[in-house]
Amino acid sequence: MVSYLRQLRLDRRIALVTGAGHGIGRATAHALAQAGAFVAVTDIDEIAARRVVEEIGPGESHRLDVADEAEVKAVVAAIAAKHGHIDILVNNAGLGARMPTVELPTERWRHVLGVNVEGSFFCGREVGQHMLEARRGAVVNLASIMGLVGSAHYPNLAYHTAKGAIVNLTRALACEWAPMGVRVNAVAPTFARTRLTEPLLADKEMEQRLLRDTPMGRFVEPEEVAAAILFLASDAASMITGVTLPVDGGWTAR
């Protein structure tokens, strides 16, 4: 008989999580570590990354700016050389730019797409080389409900564009890599109380508007997103690839 709970274990797996110093990335590092994975915690905030490693136990930290191609290559190469394989990649690092489109500076636009889209591409390409060689692996990208729908609540064009790109990047990589045993999926969370959303949710009127548009009537917890990521990264999702899973309390079902 199949051991269903056993399929969620990640013993002897090496996982790399980007943007793992805070919020959803931090919760994901905890979830993967609790399932038995050795987690490489990466973040542009090196101090935060080290602190998360202290929290989760066995693991290692690396400073990583995912928008810096050379830095991505160096960090991935170092992790692969030390452990011999990388089994799980979680592309979590991201940021937005909430402002009217006509006021959005070109450099800010490029920076948001650079971190969210190019960062996922750089990490996926570099880690993917090792996964394809091993003919196994799981990639989980962080999309967003704003990659699946528009929003009348506030303008955030660069972020919405980037997260929409992540949805199709996920599909394209899933189709390309499936014959080689590598799965690629994404999660699309609704609003969570993190450093990224803190300024937005400080506006109590905005907070209530967003809650009214969420059928479950609350925001998602980082740990709930991490649980979905754990599932997609595990063998329990062995026949799932190319999917963007909303973790949104019903937001996209309206």
Which residues carry out catalysis?
159
Beta strand 137-142 with 182-189: parallel, antiparallel or unpaired? parallel
Phi and psi of 140, rounded to 5°?
A: -125, 120
β-bridge mates for residue 250, sequence order = none
Order of strands, sheet of 38-43, starting from the edge strand that comes earlier in the sequence: 59-63, 38-43, 14-17, 88-91, 137-142, 182-189, 244-247
